[in-house]
Copies of this chain bind each other. A is one copy, B any other.
């Protein structure tokens, strides 16, 4: 880990381009820096000298009384390079470059950035930006570009300046604030992963949140998230661009970047969200003392339709409201809503109003029971406060006893209260009980957090980056050889040229057989695949037709594999520019292409992870005995997918490798076709 202490807790700071002009960043930065003057030396640099914000301005960095540890640049793009060099020369250990405009310089700008970063790193310094909004750190009392944000336990790394303010506003709504906010801009040197790493070691940060548009080294980001001592919430942008991306090949077209991000989040246990509000809501839940261990929720309401609505929303989100055991129900004072056949949701039905102790008694019993992972309290609590002073005091007692019951149980209590800003709700939050105003927020956060933990695995897998020389071609037979050697079973195949050889192969394999023409880009679409040839005559006719129509380079004769209850799957790998090799599993044909029912993992992946992934498909019941079908051998499917994923991870020269279909049978899995696409630098 690089040392970011000089950046985030600088002993001295210099603002280059400090200004009195209220429309300029130089004033904004200088004013912010001066707020930390009681903690560190702050020097303002302006090439015209004079005074800035009633302080003497130094004409240049070399005029400062001593070396500044942190230098912040508010200079035009044209001055970026020279000013960084000057900062390094005077001994700066960290640089923040607000300057925009380098991106618009195109490749020249990128080359310039790269050259500057090289010099920064050579000097043992770090650079944040350029083209960023700066950062702030509440504990160190640093405000450089991001001012007036409420302090609290949320760390935030963002590729958008505005989003820093939006997240701050939303956090303040629920009494939360920010420990450190870092705008990363172009990530020329320090990228999102580096900032997550630093936040992961920051004692003032209780949860790390991030908004990222470009992951650079996506696996480094995932590893940093995994290594952090606090949970990580990710808002990743660009999922909707999947539809715009040109699809060079089948698998590649389906596995969007968003799927790659999902795969990384699953591997690292990152909670993925889709909006700033979801980000803050998840953070609130993750800051609670106990985190839900599963998807089982008991809903407790104090009358009205709120419990019913909560049950509906929970069901939509894939949370479970298990029926409570008779033994547990006997200990609860509440009545059940007449419309429900189970005791969950529990409806206190006015019991709360009659006996305020019943809230904590019921919630405590449910939490201790072990029959659920989380209790969600919904309803009116907090609304009695404005009825009388006595009730106001009673409600605060209820809040205290609820929090105590939750903490004692070691399981989380979450609340959704219509009076979410009333004193009892505020007290609950102070005592570490998340309180949401809207039911979709409470349950949405629970669903996202409960889902994220399940998939976390031991290690974010590494992959090879240099070619091994094993891959020698991208023809069908090359693809078969590679895939088979990797450990994926394929249907038996004999290569043949002449009609005689084709017929001999048919005899050897035993009919029915399949005939495939070799050397065609899309052999199936071109009519180069004939299935289920029942005898030598049929095989000969197919051969004759292909010879006439396609004149292929040769043929593959293969056994015709089918089985009652068999299901066609697709297993494929491709490389994401940010997250490296990915493995995709899906049900074949219309399921993958029309319904987009597939899932993606980082490659290489273990069979156990892939089996779980396959079970998560919407069409999974087809594999596990739906409609009286036999169950297929999912373990064999997962082994084949894992083998393919290792092949892809070991061979960067493979842009894509795919077995499609992979026939899943009750007694194993066998690939019926294979295909590779070589990465351009390795194309033969």
Question: Which residues of A pack against B, CB within 8 Å?
Answer: 22, 103, 158-163, 165-166, 169-170, 211, 213, 235, 237-241, 243-244, 274-278, 302-306, 308-309, 311-316, 321, 338-341, 379-380, 383, 388, 418-419, 437-440, 589-590, 593-595, 618-619, 621-622, 626-627
- Is there an interface contact between B306 and A160, defined as CB atoms closer than 8 Å? yes
Among B166, B244, B314, B594, point to the contact of A306 (Cβ < 8 A). B166
Besides A213-B308, A237-B305, A274-B316, 12 new A-B residue pairs in contact (Cβ under 8 A), listed by A number: A162-B380, A163-B305, A163-B306, A166-B306, A169-B419, A239-B315, A240-B321, A274-B440, A275-B313, A275-B440, A589-B627, A594-B618
Rounded to whole Å, the gap between the CB of A114 and the closest CB of chain B is: 18
Q: Given A594-B626, A621-B594, is A309 in contact with B235 using a C-beta cutoff of 8 Å?
A: yes
Rounded to whole Å, the gap between the CB of A353 and the closest CB of chain B is: 9
Contacts of A159 in B (CB 8 A): 305
**Interchain residue pairs with CB less than 8 A apart (16):** A103-B338, A160-B304, A160-B305, A162-B302, A162-B303, A165-B380, A169-B419, A211-B305, A213-B308, A239-B316, A241-B340, A243-B315, A275-B438, A277-B439, A590-B622, A594-B627
Q: In the complex, what distance in Å separates the CA atom of A321 from the CA atom of B240? A: 10
- Is there an interface contact between B244 and A341, defined as CB atoms closer than 8 Å? yes
Contacts of A305 in B (CB 8 A): 158-160, 162-163, 211, 213, 237
- Is there an interface contact between B239 and A418, defined as CB atoms closer than 8 Å? no
Q: In the complex, what distance in Å separates the CA atom of A246 from the CA atom of B166? A: 47
The list of the 4 closest CB pairs from A to B, nearest first, reads A162-B304, A160-B305, A240-B315, A166-B418
Chain B: CB-nearest residue to A159: B305
Chain B: CB-nearest residue to A628: B525
Contacts of A316 in B (CB 8 A): 239-240, 274
Q: In the complex, what distance in Å separates the CA atom of A276 from the CA atom of B307? A: 12
Contacts of A419 in B (CB 8 A): 169
Q: In the complex, what distance in Å separates the CA atom of A439 from the CA atom of B161? A: 17
Contacts of A158 in B (CB 8 A): 305
Contacts of A312 in B (CB 8 A): 237-240, 274
Q: In the complex, what distance in Å separates the CA atom of A314 from the CA atom of B621? A: 30
- Is there an interface contact between B309 and A276, defined as CB atoms closer than 8 Å? yes
Contacts of A311 in B (CB 8 A): 240
Q: In the complex, what distance in Å separates the CA atom of A238 from the CA atom of B243? A: 35
Rounded to whole Å, the gap between the CB of A56 and the closest CB of chain B is: 27
- Is there an interface contact between A619 and B595, defined as CB atoms closer than 8 Å? yes
- Is there an interface contact between A627 and B240, defined as CB atoms closer than 8 Å? no
Chain B: CB-nearest residue to A321: B240
Q: Given A590-B627, A619-B594, is A162 in contact with B418 using a C-beta cutoff of 8 Å?
A: yes
Q: In the complex, what distance in Å separates the CA atom of A274 from the CA atom of B618? A: 23
- Is there an interface contact between B438 and A276, defined as CB atoms closer than 8 Å? yes
Among B237, B241, B590, point to the contact of A309 (Cβ < 8 A). B237
Q: In the complex, what distance in Å separates the CA atom of A388 from the CA atom of B235? A: 32
Chain B: CB-nearest residue to A596: B618
Q: In the complex, what distance in Å separates the CA atom of A627 from the CA atom of B525? A: 11
Q: In the complex, what distance in Å separates the CA atom of A376 from the CA atom of B341? A: 44
Contacts of A341 in B (CB 8 A): 244
Q: In the complex, what distance in Å separates the CA atom of A637 from the CA atom of B302? A: 49
Contacts of A309 in B (CB 8 A): 163, 235, 237, 274-276
Query: Which residue of A276, A314, A627 has the most chain B CB atoms within 10 A of its CB atom?
Result: A276
Contacts of A22 in B (CB 8 A): 388
Contacts of A165 in B (CB 8 A): 380, 383, 418
Among B103, B166, B595, point to the contact of A595 (Cβ < 8 A). B595
Rounded to whole Å, the gap between the CB of A356 and the closest CB of chain B is: 13
Contacts of A162 in B (CB 8 A): 302-306, 379-380, 418
Q: In the complex, what distance in Å separates the CA atom of A243 from the CA atom of B618? A: 17
